[in-house]
Structure 1
Amino acid sequence: MSEEPWRIGVLFSTTGVTADIETAQLKATLLAIEEINAAGGVLGRPIAPLARDGASDPKRFRQEAERLIGQDGVKLLLGCYMSNCRKAVLPAIDDHRGLLFYPTFYEGFEFSPQVIYTGAVVNQNAFQLAKYMLARHGQRVLIVGSNYIYPYETNRVMSDFVVQSRGKVVDEIYLPLEADAESPEMVRLIKRIRKHEPDFIFSTIVGRSTASFYEAYADAGFSAAAMPIASLTTSEVDVARMRPGVAEGHIAAATFFSTLGTPAARRFTAAYRARYGQHAPIPSAAEAAYFQTHIAAAALARAGTDDPRRVLDEITEIEFDAPQGRVRIDAENHHAYLWPRVARIDADGAFQIVWNPGMRVKPDPYGVDQRLDDWSADFVEAPASGGR
């Protein structure tokens, strides 16, 4: 039996506008690989990660994916954050040249036979956030996002939820990825929020513009108590970039928060912070990067080869006790069954869970059923201490 390492590509951005959250995903991936190797590797062979910087740029992601597959001989890739970067990688893995594990919540409406999607789709985060916000904060919503595919598609679905609940979208605004607090686009956004005075803001702003938006919002005198920002994209990484107190009272939906009290969550959080620092922020996208690495290794062990077709044959046979709860990959659409939650940010910048449906949700990436009272629950036992 060969003792050569398994070479696996790791493709995240360590530079550019989404470097902060992608660096957290990279760290979680490397932590999982360290754990796997410490336990003896896969079939007695260690995993050797080949990490590349996508630089928050779709062209760079495509180039690095081609390099990993074409020059380095890698078959399995772990990575990508923004949807345009994921789509840029797809041609590089066509014809079974590679298999991409994608650990980021996204807009859905995609299936590639050579992608395993471990982040949430809209029925695993947006449904729950819409239901929570519309019930507790009102019906008039202003929608804002960054100017690329994920915000446009997710905001379209959120608009449908609002209308379905007899609410109203008072405005919809998009910012460049590089927008800061003093940019003309941010100034116009604040003016339009002041003009409409919605009940809450729904934000799909990503990257470093997130902190700029929350700080500009606070500086304009807007209050989370009166008009909260509700987001699928604001994470612990973003809050760490904000001035103290700026994020307090705002709301987010995700499948994992670092305050989650399950035994698996506590082990992961402790291991991550022991490795990267006691104050290291851990977003849900990092948790997905962590558990998908363990699932990939388990499938690799079952297959006995890194041939993408053989790994795909095994991947849907695996269940894994992830920090968020027990997860698995749907055989029909290659997306993960996940555990949605809603949290409010406290004075210390921590996300405190305020609503936990307590169920694992079957992925519906195509939006087949968009009723707010049904998100295709998979009734398995909830994780211990699942509420906090």
Structure 2
Amino acid sequence: SPNIIYTGASPNQQVLPAVEWAYENLGTNFFLVGSDYVFPRSANEIIKFKIQELGGTVAGEEYALLGDTNFEGIVDKISESKPDVILNTINGDSNIAFFKELRNKGITSQQIPTISFSIAEDEIRNFGAEYLTGDYASWNYFQSLSSEKNKIFVENFKKKYGSDRVVDDPMEAGYLGVYLYAKAVESVGTDDVSAVRSALQGMTFNAPEGAVGIDPENQHLSKVVRIGEIRSDGQFKIVSSSEKPIKPEPFPKYKSEKQWNDFLNELYIGWNGNWANPTLVSQGVEK
């Protein structure tokens, strides 16, 4: 959309690099698990193309309804298929039930590591690091970044909201969006929408995550890609980082832009005009 500046990651700035890193460092046989809505379905479509390109294999692909807490069946399939790596696009509190079930079945982060795409520092704080230590997540920002800019950002956040609070990638992406807007308004001396939109094209900003820049072709940001290992204190040890910001590619090469949009529209129609499976969940039981 010409009316949106996308401050989050494109697939080539989060999902695809994580799959490649996992293939090189953790194993070649993957199990895909996600919540049944648009992001996990789209991410896993992209992931499967990447795994095939690398020469890896998909041991299984399973989805749970948003809000579901019953993961016994899915974890049983993981146990049976014995993948090298779990790629996790489960959203929200369902992650608590998923990781607890993994541990209940004896699947540890050492035995089968999980890379998550929706678990950051704040989720770990709420879920409990004891269930997640040794697993991984892929983001552009981690609170543990050692730059002076980030240290000031974290310090100011804790000063305002409490020393027990943490910051994470989605928070930082929202924060830098406000500053990009302010920089654009200041540069043109008006908050006129057309003028601000024009000023934003190609704009750069030194964010807590590092240098970002708006790509005028698609209005996504160039970003550094990072992969972190979850520590027992709920923070991340950064195990991989791109040398420089990566140019965004919102429509991965495996399909044309039209084919990706058709894929999304098919999901939307299949879910009766929703962006998630509209089936309701009550105490882990579909109804």
Question: Does TM, scored on the shorter chain, surpass 0.5?
Answer: yes
Matches of 2:129 and 2:118 in 1, distance apart? 19
Matches of 1:169 and 1:308 in 2, distance apart? 46
Scaled by the length of structure 2, the TM-score of the pair is 0.85
The answer to whether the Cα contact below 8 Å between 1:346 and 1:352 also exists between their aligned partners in 2 is yes
Matches of 1:216 and 1:155 in 2, distance apart? 22
The residue aligned with 1:103 is: none
Matches of 1:193 and 1:241 in 2, distance apart? 25
| Equivalenced residues, count | 255
Report whether the alignment pairs 1:219 with 2:104. yes
| Equivalent residue in structure 1 for 2:153, among 260, 265, 268 | 268
The answer to whether the Cα contact below 8 Å between 1:210 and 1:238 also exists between their aligned partners in 2 is no
Matches of 1:176 and 1:274 in 2, distance apart? 38
1:133 Cα deviation (Å)?
Answer: 0.5
The residue aligned with 1:115 is: 4
What amino acid does structure 1 have at the position aligned with 2:190?
A: T
SS at match of 2:170: helix
The answer to whether the Cα contact below 8 Å between 2:49 and 2:254 also exists between their aligned partners in 1 is no
The answer to whether the Cα contact below 8 Å between 1:199 and 1:227 also exists between their aligned partners in 2 is yes
Report whether the alignment pairs 1:173 with 2:62. yes
Matches within 5 A, 1:1-388: 112-180=1-69, 183=70, 186-368=71-253
The answer to whether the Cα contact below 8 Å between 2:34 and 2:90 also exists between their aligned partners in 1 is yes
- Bigger RCO (CA 8 Å, 6+ sep): 2
The residue aligned with 1:373 is: none
Deviations 1:297-339 (A, max 9, x none): 1112223333321111101242211001111111111001111
**Percentage identity across aligned positions?**
28
Q: 1:132 to 1:276 in 2, by over 3 A?
A: same
Matches of 1:132 and 1:297 in 2, distance apart? 36
The residue aligned with 2:282 is: none
Runs of at least 5 residues in structure 1 that lack an aligned partner in the other structure:
1-111, 371-388
Deviations 1:160-212 (A, max 9, x none): 111111111111111111112xx2xx111111111111101000111111222
Scaled by the length of structure 1, the TM-score of the pair is 0.64
The answer to whether the Cα contact below 8 Å between 2:129 and 2:231 also exists between their aligned partners in 1 is no
What amino acid does structure 2 have at the position aligned with 1:222?
A: I
RMSD over aligned Cα atoms: 1.4
Deviations 1:60-109 (A, max 9, x none): xxxxxxxxxxxxxxxxxxxxxxxxxxxxxxxxxxxxxxxxxxxxxxxxxx
SS at match of 1:115: coil
The residue aligned with 1:96 is: none
1:368 Cα deviation (Å)?
Answer: 3.1
Runs of at least 5 residues in structure 2 that lack an aligned partner in the other structure:
256-287
SS at match of 2:237: strand
